Every structure is written in C-alpha cells, then in structure tokens.
C-alpha cells in the first residue's frame, strides 16, 4: 500500500519549500498576475502558493472538466488565461486554429530536465507550442470488494452492476475502435460509427458518463467500475487507506496520453507564463506534482534524483513495463476526424448513461 495522501502532503510541504528556495524567479514580475486554466486536482497543494511567493505575484487558478470544454472556451476568444494544459490529442487542432502562442525556449532554463521520450512528439514537433507536464493512461478503476478482479475492457462490459464511463471523446471512441478490431486512430467514418454502435450496444450497465469525477463516483459507491485517468484512481486509493480499490490497464490496450503546458493566444502575461513553465520544470517541483497526482512525470531529472515516491515509481500501472507499453496507443486528432468523433460521441451519449 502506498503512503496516504496525508503522508504525501507532509513530504510535499517539505520538498516544495526546498523547491521555492532552489528555483529563482526572474526579476521584474513582482505585483503581476498569472491566470491558469487547468484540470482540477492537477497540482500539489502548494505548487501555486510557492510560485506566488517566489515571484511576488498573484495566481488566478480556474479549472475545467474536460479538454473539449477548454478548447471550446478558447475558440470563443481567450478571456484572459496565460496557461492552459491540453491533452496531446487536441494540440494539433489548437495549433491549426491559432489558439496557442509559440513558447520561447530561451526562457526555459530547465527544459533539459525532461525525458527525451516525451519531447518532439508528432502532435507538436520541436515543442514549439507545448511542454510536457504529466502523462498516464485511461484505464479501469474498480471496487475490489464488489467486483473481485478484472483485467480487461471485456470484463467491464460484461459486469452486472453500475459502471461509469469518462467524458473523453477521443479516449472512449478509441477504446471502441480497439474493441471492434479497428485502428484506434482511424479516420474512417464507417469505423467510427461501428465503434460508437459497439459502445451503445455494450452500455447497458452505464449509469453515468462522468466529467473527470469518476473517482468520486467510485468512492461514493455509486458505481463499482469507472473508466478514469490513472492518477485520479490512485488518489482515491491513497485517501481510502484500504485495499478496496484497484486500477488496471486493460489487457486489450488503452489510450496513453501526455498533457502539456501551453500558452493560449492572446495571453495577457506571456513572459510570466514562461517563468511558470520553467518553475514547473524544476525537478523538485515536478516531483511534488507527480507525487501528489500519482500521474507519471516526464521530468527525467526528478526520477534520476530519486524525488519520485518509491512506491509510485515502482508501480507498473503508473510506469508500465515495456510489454504493457506495447499495448498502448497514442491518441491522434485531425481536422477531418474531429467532427466524426464528436458526432459519434453525441450519439453514444443519447443512448448511454445520463
């Protein structure tokens, strides 16, 4: 059993204090404001307050429930955000639509701390617009006492009890494509329709399609099985201090994703945003975040320096083996594919869940 969240927070407070001392904010930002638009529970408790103290600034921190919600809001015009955290599947669309600013790498003195595995990926060659933040998988969280052991998507579909899916269009339809034997990144309308029909036909046990709060639905006992992001389930496991919950990467395979820090077009304070990105790249800061969220860190320096909690670093559901990695797919998005996925997912939601 990993350390409890309370124990993790003690370590976070100590280590983040060191991070605040070690990372030096560039001069000239005192009194300014940074506006961050991010997922909920996606920073350590004092990530933001330590940055505020280091730079003498104020941070406004807003959250969203899905990547699609964030993209839709920016399409309407940036209301004043300096930092957003898009998932890899949506980055090409955001770049193509001019929703992101180019990042000045000369301002990122800690960029070299990142693992080359997560750099220069197809969704943003050269990392002109994004910098890796966290990574993980979409898998199955479940109540062991009620379900027993499950290992596959097939087990979830066959379960005779309440299940919650995830409001993640690309991941869910990618899983549907996988289950009907198609390329999970297929751009074929026929393939995508077949995947949607599979989900509809196999969604009889679904009570919710959750807005990134499946872990809470699981913890409240409203569902026995949830489709969720890996770290969200690990947080529930830690808070419980019990062996009631488990997370599995399904044996059929699943979506492997990278979330990145990015600066939206029209950001009021691009310079401070770049300082914030550099701060996140400091090994201890990056480690504190991953130790709190239980998602994988792309910060190789944090791993090499032993800053990641040992039990997290050794958990194969967080840092998968090469054998497991071979079953993962990297979700892709394109201008032609996006409307097909959205239309298919809208149809699934009409017939499945609430």
- The CATH architecture of the domain made up of 5-135+257-313 is 3-Layer(aba) Sandwich (3.40)
Strands 58-64 and 225-229, bridge-based pairing = unpaired
Instruction: Report pLDDT for 299.
Output: 98
pTM, whole model, 2 decimals? 0.82
**Where exactly are the structural domains of the chain?**
5-135+257-313, 137-256+327-351
Residues 147 and 224 sit within 8 Å (Cβ to Cβ): yes
- 71 Cβ contact list (under 8 Å, min separation 6): 86, 90, 93, 94, 99
Angle at the Cα of 264 from the Cα atoms of 167 and 229, rounded to 5 degrees: 25
pLDDT at 332 > cutoff 90: no
pLDDT at 149 > cutoff 60: yes
Residues 249 and 320 sit within 8 Å (Cβ to Cβ): yes
How far is residue 161's CA from residue 233's CA, in Å, rounded to a whole number?
A: 19
pLDDT band with cut points at 50, 70 and 90 for residue 4:
very low
Q: What is the pLDDT of residues 91-116, one digit of tens each?
A: 999 999 999 999 999 999 999 999 99
Instruction: Report pLDDT for 241.
Output: 86
Instruction: Report pLDDT for 47.
Output: 97
Total count of residues recorded for the chain: 354
Q: What percent of the chain has pLDDT over 70?
A: 94
Burial 106-131 (b: 16+ CB within 10 A, else e): eebebbebbbeebeebebbeebebbb
Give the CATH superfamily of 137-256+327-351. Periplasmic binding protein-like II (3.40.190.10)
266 CB-contact burial (10 Å; exposed 0-12 / middle 13-18 / buried 19+): middle
User: What integer best gives the mean pLDDT of the chain?
Assistant: 92
Closest by Cα among 203, 252, 245 to 228:
245
pLDDT at 52 > cutoff 60: yes
Instruction: Report pLDDT for 6.
Output: 33
Instruction: Report pLDDT for 144.
Output: 98
Residues 9 and 42 sit within 8 Å (Cβ to Cβ): no
pLDDT at 264 > cutoff 90: yes
Instruction: Report pLDDT for 337.
Output: 93
Instruction: Report pLDDT for 354.
Output: 62
Beta strands in the chain (DSSP E): 33-39, 58-64, 83-84, 130-143, 163-166, 206-210, 225-229, 245-248, 254-262, 328-330
pLDDT at 1 > cutoff 90: no
Q: What is the pLDDT of residues 283-314, one digit of tens each?
A: 999 999 999 999 999 999 999 999 999 999 99
Q: What is the pLDDT of residues 319-330, one digit of tens each?
A: 999 899 899 998
The residues with which 330 forms a beta bridge, in sequence order, are 256
Dihedral, 168, 170, 173, 179 alpha carbons, nearest 10: -110
Q: What is the pLDDT of residues 6-34, one digit of tens each?
A: 334 334 444 444 444 489 999 999 999 99
Instruction: Report pLDDT for 227.
Output: 98
Quickly count: other Cβ atoms within 10 Å of residue 255's Cβ.
Answer: 25
């Amino acid at each position: 059993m990993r350390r409890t969240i309370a124990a993790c927070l003690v370590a976070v407070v100590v280590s983040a204090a060191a991070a605040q001392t070690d990372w030096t904010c560039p001069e000239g930002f005192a009194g300014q404001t940074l506006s961050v638009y991010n997922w909920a529970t996606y920073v350590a408790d004092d990530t933001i307050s330590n940055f505020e103290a280091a730079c003498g600034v104020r941070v406004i921190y807003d959250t969203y429930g899905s990547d699609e919600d964030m993209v839709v809001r920016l399409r309407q015009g940036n209301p004043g955000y300096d930092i957003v955290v898009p998932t890899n599947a949506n980055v090409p669309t955001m770049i193509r639509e001019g929703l992101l600013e180019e990042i000045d790498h000369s301002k990122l003195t800690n960029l070299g701390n990142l693992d080359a595995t997560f750099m220069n990926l197809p969704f943003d060659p050269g990392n002109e617009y994004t910098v890796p933040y966290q990574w993980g998988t979409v898998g199955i969280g479940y109540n062991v006492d009620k379900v027993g052991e499950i290992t596959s998507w097939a087990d979830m579909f066959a379960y005779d009890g309440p299940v919650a899916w995830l409001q993640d269009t690309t991941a869910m339809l990618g899983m549907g494509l996988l289950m009907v034997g198609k390329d999970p990144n297929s751009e074929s309308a026929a393939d995508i329709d077949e995947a949607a029909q599979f989900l509809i036909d196999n969604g009889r046990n679904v009570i919710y399609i959750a807005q990134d709060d499946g872990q809470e639905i699981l913890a409240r006992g409203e569902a026995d099985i949830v489709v969720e992001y890996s770290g969200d389930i690990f947080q529930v496991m830690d808070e419980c201090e019990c062996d009631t919950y488990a997370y599995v990467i399904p044996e059929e395979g699943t979506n492997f994703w990278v979330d990145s820090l990015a600066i939206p077009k029209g950001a009021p304070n691009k310079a401070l945003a770049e300082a914030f990105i550099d701060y996140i790249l400091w090994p201890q800061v990056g480690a504190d975040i991953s130790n709190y969220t239980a998602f994988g860190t792309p910060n190789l320096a944090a791993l090499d320096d032993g800053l990641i909690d040992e039990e997290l670093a050794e958990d194969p559901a967080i840092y998968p083996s090469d054998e497991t990695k071979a079953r993962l797919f990297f979700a892709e998005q394109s201008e032609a594919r996006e409307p097909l996925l959205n239309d298919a997912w809208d149809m699934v939601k009409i017939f499945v869940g609430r």
